Chains A and B, each alone.
Chain A
Amino acid sequence: MNIKSKHRLTLEGKKAITGYMFIAPFLVGLFVFFIYPLIQSIIFSFHDLEVTATGYKLTYAGLNNFRRAFFVDPDFRRILVESITQMITDVPLIVMFSFFAATLLNQEFKGRAFARAVFFLPVILTSGVIVAIENSDMLLNMARSSFEEEATTGAAASVVQALELRRLLMQTRLDPRFIGYITGAIDNIYQVVTASGVQILVFLAGLQTISPSLYEAAIVEGATGWEKFWKITFPMISPLILVNVVYSIIDSFTRPTNQVMQMIMDAAFRQSSYGYSSAIAWVYFIAIMLILGIAVGIISRWVFYQE
């Protein structure tokens, strides 16, 4: 009995084993379909890969693939920079818009459930093949731009007049680049709105967890709406701003319409240069990680955690 108990596991050990059993599928997947391919793709990026009838053949190419990406390929650098600038302009707009939409939806009004359902609709409908088709679609783009024209130059009754707005902003002697950013945001409204479905819901959920007693205390102390927003809502929601920035960055990088993504696919399956495709995929991945790191580093400085 005594000898046997030596070999018997402690309760903690037993629990640990059960835990591993629950996550076993993930462990298998992690090694077989994630870490192993990841390492392989690093190796591929330093080789030329040829597919043969029974397998594939690697010939060592050193840094050639990376050299080709940066110095030979006429498109890669341009597309990489473009997609990064696109991301940097879009993400703040998406986060601001989704915060604004969430505060709208957080109030009581008729048709709130309907509005919420519509705001979330793009998450389901503008994914994958639909967004890819939409993007290449001439008619829809034309219709959209004519709609925007109508909204900007057309009837006097139109609410948003970007041209007027531009003139107004010009008079305030702001930086023209800043003005371009704001008016560009209005022209891009469709992209921004469709990319913020999940973020709106995250903010909405966050707004609903803020305890009303905080606001009551603030009202008793005589706080204005402005103060309530900056002193209560904003700090309480700030962890979710971080979450949403991270989500938006990843989302904008991995969208099927992203040009770098298409380039990686094309290099592999149109030109059959698998090694080169792996190399640019890695360059892109490292760029994403850098940007994510910088963004998280900056934002988490002023994120407020209640605990």
Chain B
Amino acid sequence: MSSIAMEQRNVTISKKAKRSYFSMYRLRQLMWSIVRTILVIGICFVILYPLIVKFSVSIMEERDLYDITVRYVPKHFTLKNYQTAWTYMRYPEAFMNSVKLSLLTSLMQLISCTLVGYGFARFNFPLKNLLFGLVIAILVVPPQTIMIPLFLHFRFFDIFGIISALTGHTLNLLDSYWPFILLSATGMGLKNGLYIYIMRQHFRGAPKDLEEAAYIDGAGAFKTFYRVMLPGAIPMMVTVFLFSFVWQWTDTFYSTLFLQKLWVLPTALSSLVPNVSQAYSSAQLGIMVYLSPAYSSMLNNTGSILVIIPLIIIYLFTQRYFVESIERSGLTGM
């Protein structure tokens, strides 16, 4: 009898304890989720804030900048900045050239990095580890180290003296797409070591059964590669393609190195303010006109918006390929 009563009492005590434990637990969880929300919103704000400032400045008139009562929401709404930036960046031309350049390079890089990544993932050959180490080394060496030889290489282009023997002079490949094509096709473009690494990790993680079945059915290595392995690699390839497209789009290093006359967006944006001030100067019959810092920064912001709008549109639609890429790539599985 007493033992039963004891048991009942124990049960009620434990129930009480449980309830208070749970309410404490709930409370802590609630507190944490509030703190977490504040933190996440705060960090998002830090990231998005410059974008908002850029946009709000780009639709203001210059006098709004000097007006203390104006913050973020312009008093004098105008699209004139966009007009100026559009004209002096020669936006349609720069846009088309950039699209061509980025598409070309990212397609070439995609092809070469996929092939090379597959080669490293699935075949054994002498010096493989050394060569793969060099893939990583390419990532580490800053491109500025080999900048001048590359520049001269393409300025006086020659293949073992064949071209100069045939035509009497070397080729000047600057201001054309050729340096980009050659570098991309050989996996030496911007951050290509990273893409090779990603593709290699992906292929290493792919199941071998399909491949073996294809070999047994008599398919050669290349046929197996594009009939069996490529379809499974498409999401990863989209990721590589997008990364290389986006990074090529804003790249200043190679575009200022190889292109002076060929007009692409990065060069257009960085020469926007000098161009505008030059145009004003020649309108003033040659008297040098300097733009006010506020106005030039306004133009820069407007130009930046024009450059990033295509990227934002791409990101809106393909966001998961960027974000999920690293999770799927097995990058973390070293």
Q: Which residues on A are within 8 Å of B, measured CB to CB?
A: 12, 15-23, 25-30, 32-34, 36-38, 40-41, 44, 49, 51, 54-56, 101, 104, 107, 109, 111, 115-125, 127-130, 132-134, 136-140, 143-144, 147, 159, 189-190, 193-194, 198, 201-202, 204-206, 208-209, 239-240, 243, 250, 253-254, 256, 261, 264-265, 268-269, 274, 277-278, 281-282, 284-285, 288-289, 292
Encoded as 1 (CB less than 8 Å from any A CB) or 0, chain B from 250 to 290 comes to 11110010000000011001100000000000000000000
**What residue in chain B is nearest A275 (Cβ atoms)?**
B148
A-B contact pairs, 11 of them (CB 8 A): A16-B123, A19-B124, A23-B119, A38-B141, A44-B149, A51-B155, A128-B251, A205-B331, A250-B139, A250-B140, A277-B148
Known: A128-B266, A134-B304, A139-B297. A109 touches B311 (CB 8 A): no
**What residue in chain B is nearest A12 (Cβ atoms)?**
B124
**What residue in chain A is nearest B183 (Cβ atoms)?**
A33
Q: Which of B284-320 contact A (CB under 8 A)?
A: 293-294, 297-298, 300-301, 303-304, 307-308, 311-312, 315, 319
The total of interchain contacts (Cβ-Cβ below 8 angstroms) comes to: 269
Complex contact B327–A204 (CB within 8 A):
yes
Which of B148, B293, B297, B304 interacts with A274 by CB under 8 Å? B148
Q: Which residues on B are within 8 Å of A, measured CB to CB?
A: 33, 36-40, 42-44, 46-51, 53-54, 57, 65, 112, 115-116, 118-120, 122-126, 128, 131, 134-135, 138-153, 155-156, 169-170, 182-183, 185-188, 196, 221, 225, 246-247, 249-253, 256, 265-266, 269-270, 293-294, 297-298, 300-301, 303-304, 307-308, 311-312, 315, 319, 322-323, 325-327, 331-334
Known: A16-B123, A54-B156, A129-B266. A124 touches B322 (CB 8 A): yes
| Distance (whole angstroms) from the CB of B254 to the closest CB of chain A | 10
Where chain B touches its partner, the secondary structure class is helix
When distances are taken between beta carbons in the complex, the residues of chain A under 8 Å from B149 are 36-38, 40-41, 44
Complex contact B38–A201 (CB within 8 A):
no
Complex contact A130–B308 (CB within 8 A):
yes
Which of B37, B123, B140 interacts with A288 by CB under 8 Å? B140
When distances are taken between beta carbons in the complex, the residues of chain B under 8 Å from A19 are 119, 122-125, 128
Complex contact B142–A133 (CB within 8 A):
no
Which of A51, A189, A201 interacts with B326 by CB under 8 Å? A201
Complex contact B322–A120 (CB within 8 A):
yes
| Distance (whole angstroms) from the CB of A227 to the closest CB of chain B | 17
In the bound complex, how far is the Cα of B187 from the Cα of A269, in angstroms? 26
Which of A20, A125, A206, A284 interacts with B51 by CB under 8 Å? A125
Which of B119, B150, B319 interacts with A22 by CB under 8 Å? B119
| Distance (whole angstroms) from the CB of A226 to the closest CB of chain B | 14
| Distance (whole angstroms) from the CB of B5 to the closest CB of chain A | 31
When distances are taken between beta carbons in the complex, the residues of chain A under 8 Å from B155 are 51
Complex contact A101–B43 (CB within 8 A):
yes
When distances are taken between beta carbons in the complex, the residues of chain B under 8 Å from A115 are 40, 43-44
In the bound complex, how far is the Cα of B149 from the Cα of A268, in angstroms? 11
Complex contact A127–B247 (CB within 8 A):
yes
When distances are taken between beta carbons in the complex, the residues of chain A under 8 Å from B300 are 133, 136-137
Which of A115, A129, A256 has the largest count of B CB atoms less than 10 A from its CB?
A129
Closest 8 CB pairs of A and B: A29-B186, A19-B123, A22-B119, A128-B250, A37-B149, A16-B125, A37-B146, A23-B119
In the bound complex, how far is the Cα of B86 from the Cα of A20, in angstroms? 48
Complex contact A137–B38 (CB within 8 A):
no
When distances are taken between beta carbons in the complex, the residues of chain A under 8 Å from B50 are 134, 140, 143-144, 190
In the bound complex, how far is the Cα of B265 from the Cα of A129, in angstroms? 9
In the bound complex, how far is the Cα of B131 from the Cα of A234, in angstroms? 32
| Distance (whole angstroms) from the CB of B73 to the closest CB of chain A | 14
Complex contact A208–B252 (CB within 8 A):
no
Which of B36, B65, B115, B134 interacts with A30 by CB under 8 Å? B134
In the bound complex, how far is the Cα of B307 from the Cα of A36, in angstroms? 35
Complex contact A268–B147 (CB within 8 A):
yes
Complex contact A281–B124 (CB within 8 A):
no
Complex contact A256–B253 (CB within 8 A):
yes
When distances are taken between beta carbons in the complex, the residues of chain B under 8 Å from A124 are 246, 311, 315, 322
